[in-house]
Amino acid sequence: MSDTVESVIVAIDGPSGTGKSSTSKAVAAKLGLSYLDTGAQYRAITWWMIDNGVDVGDPAAVADAAGKPVIVSGTDPSHPTITVDGVDVSGPIRTQEVTSKVSAVSAVPEIRARITDLQRSIAATAPHGIVVEGRDIGTTVLPDADLKIFLTASPEARAARRAGEIKGADVAATREALVRRDAADSSRKTSPLAKADDAVEVDTTDLTLQQVIECVVTFVEEKRAATR
């Protein structure tokens, strides 16, 4: 990538299954930017709590342990990585147990403060800019991002996408689980899932992944052209 291209910070938020990870990775790879999956960080700290016998239903116990695990995120969009205390947890953080407990852990203010600091330092040191995806990036983590996107899609479309990843998955149960997780993430007190006032909303229900990627790449290019 040329050093003459300006650095750009892109925040992509939205509920589960709207295409944040797939879109963010592809946009970052295409534009030579770094990529940060903030959901993976919350999953990693949740995995550590479970592995260390912390009761994730007890916010005080989770808060007490919040500073203990060392979480490291690799930001190459073609090979994102996540380790906890040096252990690769990219597989274990995707289990059903972690998915069902991550909203309780991510609602604890001490957890959010720790992970938000980490996210800001990663974004600040990305050499050519970064695409950061999550739930509160545009509202809280990077409120001065150059571009903010909020992806949405109907619960039916999101459930069909997610169920399509697992052979024999029940679409109705998948829909119920993701709606429940979105409700928990949207109703917590500290930096809930929300669209920033200055975010561009993109409804992906009837768009292919390729169309969403092209749409976001166009927004980034327009933003860069406007600031030249």
Ligand X SMILES: Nc1ncnc2c1ncn2[C@@H]1O[C@H](COP(=O)(O)OP(=O)(O)OP(=O)(O)O)[C@@H](O)[C@H]1O
Contacting residues toward ligand L45E5XJ5, per CB under 6 A:
16, 38-40, 42-43, 102-103, 106, 134-137, 181, 185
Cα 3 to Cα 7, 77, 128, 158: the distances in Å are 9, 19, 8, 38
Q: Does 21 bind ligand X (CB under 6 A)?
A: yes
DSSP letters for 16-58: TTSSHHHHHHHHHHHHT-EEEEHHHHHHHHHHHHHHTT--TT-
Is 106 marked as a binding-site residue? no
The correct pick among 93, 159, 212, 220 for binding ligand X (CB under 6 A) is 212
The correct pick among 26, 31, 35, 39 for binding ligand X (CB under 6 A) is 39
Of 33 and 108, the one with the shorter C-beta distance to ligand L45E5XJ5 is 108
Q: Which of ligand L45E5XJ5, ligand X, none sits in contact with 52, Cβ below 5 to 8 A by type?
A: none
Is 95 marked as a binding-site residue? no
CB of 2 to ligand L45E5XJ5, least distance (A): 31
Compute the distance between CA of residue 177 and CA of residue 46 in angstroms, rounded to an integer.
18
What is the SS3 assignment for 83-130? EECCEECCCHHHCHHHHHHHHHHHCCHHHHHHHHHHHHHHHHCCCCEE
Q: Which of ligand X, ligand L45E5XJ5, none sits in contact with 103, Cβ below 5 to 8 A by type?
A: ligand L45E5XJ5
Is 32 marked as a binding-site residue? no
Of 194 and 207, the one with the shorter C-beta distance to ligand L45E5XJ5 is 194
> Three-state DSSP class for 81?
strand
Known binding-site residues for ATP equal: 14-22
Binding residues: 14-22
